Amino acid sequence: MALPAYQRALIRLAKGVGYAPPPHAWRDQLLKLNGEFRRSALDVGGRVALEIMIIGAGAYGLTMSFWSDALGQDLPFFRGMFIVLIGLGLYLVRLNRIWYKFAHGSISALRGKRKVLWQENLADLTYVVLAGRSINPFLTLRWPHRRRRIELYDSLLRELSPSVADRAARP
């Protein structure tokens, strides 16, 4: 039986913004995974360069706002924006240290030297969705009681089936 036109349109729209319908094998692939998955050195280097630029721009703008009257009455607004820019850069720096550990049918998100952020049992996993394919791919993992997002690092992508890797690598 064919889908109604509005459902077909919604599916096309979702695919257009980067959501991929999950194959049934994804859940099983995640259950079988064992190991630690981290960002590659190249990925960390690129992110650090971007974070340095964001924090530097915010710090430069904030410093210049104290030495110049060029902004006039908009000065408090721009100072606030520069502070937000610095905060965004620091938040992104914090995300660099997150990594994932799969072991015995469970997933753990860790930061730094094994500080556990969260842990879930993969046996209860309901479905998996791949999104953000072109810029920053991530998996949305859905359980009956909650939803978690994990970044799809290159190391994790290589461990998943080739069909998943091919689908995520496509622009």
Looking at every residue in the chain, the average pLDDT score rounds to: 82
Predicted local confidence at residue 1, as pLDDT: 42
Please give the class, per CATH, of domain 21-38+99-169: mainly beta
Q: Give tens-digit pLDDT for 103-131.
A: 988 999 999 888 999 999 998 888 887 77
- pLDDT bin (cut points 50, 70, 90) of residue 169 is low
CB 103 within 8 A of CB 141: no
CA–CA dist 15, 3 (Å, integer): 16
CB 108 within 8 A of CB 119: yes
DSSP for 16-80, please give it.
Answer: HTT-BPPPTHHHHHHHH--EEE---HHHHHHHHHHHHHHHHHHHHHHHHHHH--TTGGGHHHHHH
Q: Give tens-digit pLDDT for 44-95.
A: 898 899 999 999 999 998 888 888 776 677 788 888 999 999 999 999 888 8
pTM: 0.71
Residue ranges of domains in the chain: 21-38+99-169, 42-94
Q: Write the CA distances from 84 to 7, 66, 68, 97, 120, integer angstroms.
A: 40, 16, 20, 21, 33
CB 38 within 8 A of CB 129: no
Q: Write the CA distances from 120 to 25, 46, 140, 145, integer angstroms.
A: 19, 30, 13, 11
Using the predicted structure, report yes or no on whether residue 2 has a pLDDT greater than 70. no
